[in-house]
Each structure stands twice: as structure tokens, then as C-alpha cells.
Structure 1
């Protein structure tokens, strides 16, 4: 499954911003995978914190191969040592076990959260151990497919903004200008800013000042 968007979002963003329009035309449609299972998405994001994408994929494959399915029952039933053996730190295992326990007890309702606003989802997810605002925003975008997510705390988003608009620095005030401009389709804008930050367009550079020793 990929994040769903089409001509409506594209034409709106292009009409709002000429520079972003050029980026969209050069890159074309972006396929970014999503995970519609909220439980596994939360666990996947905890697993991936502060490690490479490759390391995250390796751990995730081991978990799926061994547990069969990533849900509250399989996580609660697995010993701490078993989960650590997949390549996770004790702290991450603690976060995942705590989340699984809350789901199994019913103190965190997986189904009910889908009906809540972006702000309410961020508040509820951020109350979990190991989940901060940025992780909650990524879950909103890549699991719940909310249409208007642009994260100030995402360094690659800031890098993409610097590259597209030739800024040396993105402060909160400047970020909010772009967030309002892209709304209500900030999530699609995020896909293109990530692509730019990752080098999708040859010759585009980051205008951040060089760090001196």
C-alpha cells in the first residue's frame, strides 16, 4: 500500500507555489509505503528510532519471521530476552511491551483513535512511552494517511525547504508560512520535500551555513 494522492492535491500545491510546482514536475508521482495497522506501525516506529533504515528493516524481518504477526498478543507473550535478541535495546523493548500491555488491557483504544483529530492523536500517542511528537506525526502520515502533516521536527523536511527556497535556516515562523501555504495537503508536500532532501533532483544544494570547527 502506498500513500494515496492524485491530481487534486498536485494541482492545488502547484497553484500555491511555483517553486514546489517545478519540483513536482521534475520528480513526478511518489510512491511511499504505508502501514494501515496502527499497532504494528507504532511498534515499527519505536524499533526504528535512532538507527538506520537498513537496521530497522533487519530487526523488523526477524520479528515477523519469529512472531508471525506483530500484535498485542504476540508482543505480550514474548519474553523480554527474546525481543532483545532481535537487535533492540532493553529500553525499546520496555516501550513496546508497555504499549502492548495498554492495548491488551484496553487502556489504549486502537480503534477509537482513528476518529480523533490530528492534535488529539498526537496527544494520545505522545502519552505512550517512547513516542514523541515527531513519531506521532509520522504515524499520522504513514499509517493513518492524514492529508495535512508537515513536521517542523523533521530535519529532512527542514533540509528540503532550505534546498527548494534557498534559505540558510528554517525557524518556526518561516516554517509556519510554508505549512499554511501547503495546507490542507501538507502530507503530499512532505513527500516532495523528503525526496528533494534525499537528492532526487540533481544539482539542488542545501543552503545551510557550513559548520566551522
Structure 2
């Protein structure tokens, strides 16, 4: 599967209606915003590298770096990235630490030492645990892969600043505690990923 195989996160009226019933404030936002398209990357390696590129940088900066990588390498595959050195990867505009992590992950996967496809058989928590063994991959990056590649239905990331900001805006909160966050996340279950899509949108308004 190539780099440019994008699709939209699949959800519909069922998820929107159930979230609206579970949380009236979110329901009002869903009613106002309508259905939101969220682009995902089904190829796990491409999506993983995309998530790492997006760590701790703005959406705009991540898009710029990603565009340069696509221009330089064409297909983002374990083999194409493993053949580069970290200096060349870093020249796309990321930190050297990130470039080294991306190169090391590509080498590990291209040599058959990590089974990305096997993640599909695991639970969300098992996926997070397994991915976290890779250099430069933590819980947030794994959660982004769960949503943006695997289309897992119930992911709301505490580690995502925009999701927290969206939640604060939605409920008119000056700040949000982990306890408050978890209360809302529980209300969204089992359609937390769709709630996340709306929270991202609300955060950017």
C-alpha cells in the first residue's frame, strides 16, 4: 500500500445520535457542525511515521515536513526510509532526534524485527504497549495510530493538547483535570474516536 492511500474515518448517523444522547452539550455541537470528515492513512507504517512527524509541532509545521518527505521519498515504506541516513531525513525539517527514531524504526521493521500487521489482532492497550517499545513512540503516538490508521472506535487521548483544549471550549472550562477528562471520556464510550474528531474541530474554531 502506498503513501497516498488515504481514506475517511468511517462513522455515521448511529455514532452521532448515540453521542448526542449520551452528552447533550456535545450533541449540540454535532448538530451545529454536521458530519466532519477525518482523513486517515490505512497503511500502518506510513501512519506511524506521520504521527511521529506530528509530535510536539503544529499541524501546519507537520504538514510542511510531511510534504517534503513525500517529495523526497515518494512512497513512505520501511525499505525507502531505511535506505536513507538520519541526516537526509532530518533535512526535511524535523529534529535530529526525531530523524534518528524514524530511521531506526524503519530499519527494525524492514529487517522483520517488528510485526506491524500483527497489531490488528491486539486490543487497544496491547497496541499501545507494543508500539511503545519502539524508539520515539509513546502513548500519544500509539493512540494517533489507533485512530488514524486502525480506525479503532473508542480512543480519546489525554495526551493530545488539542483534544483537551476542545473539551475545555465545549464545556466552558478554564482548565481540565484528568478526572474531569475521564468522566467525559467515559460518557463518549464506545464512540470516543468520533467524539475526538469533533473535539479536534471545536479546538480549531
TM-score of the pair, normalised by structure 2: 0.92
Q: Where do 5+ consecutive residues of structure 1 fail to align?
A: 200-213
Match of 2:196 among 175, 186, 190: 190
Structure-2 residue corresponding to 1:208:
none
Pair 52,167 (structure 1): closer, same or farther in 2 beyond 3 Å: closer
Q: Where do 5+ consecutive residues of structure 2 fail to align?
A: 1-6
1:63-122 CA-to-partner distances (Å, cap 9, x unmatched) read: 222222111111111133322222222211110111111112222101101111000011
Match of 1:128 among 123, 127, 134: 134
User: What is the SS of the residue equivalent to 2:144?
Assistant: helix
1:9-33 CA-to-partner distances (Å, cap 9, x unmatched) read: 0111111111111100000010111
Match of 1:149 among 136, 146, 155: 155
TM-score of the pair, normalised by structure 1: 0.88
Q: CA shift at 1:168, angstroms? A: 2.9
Query: In the aligned structure 2, how far is the partner of 1:177 from the partner of 1:61?
Result: 38
Structure-2 residue corresponding to 1:58:
64
Q: CA shift at 1:54, angstroms? A: 2.4
Query: In the aligned structure 2, how far is the partner of 1:62 from the partner of 1:168?
Result: 37
Structure-2 residue corresponding to 1:10:
16
Q: CA shift at 1:193, angstroms? A: 1.3
Runs ≥4 in structure 1, deviation > 6 angstroms? none
Q: Does the CA contact (< 8 Å) of 2:39 and 2:148 recur in 1?
A: yes
Q: Does the CA contact (< 8 Å) of 2:51 and 2:141 recur in 1?
A: yes
Match of 1:95 among 66, 77, 101: 101
Query: In the aligned structure 2, how far is the partner of 1:38 from the partner of 1:119?
Result: 17
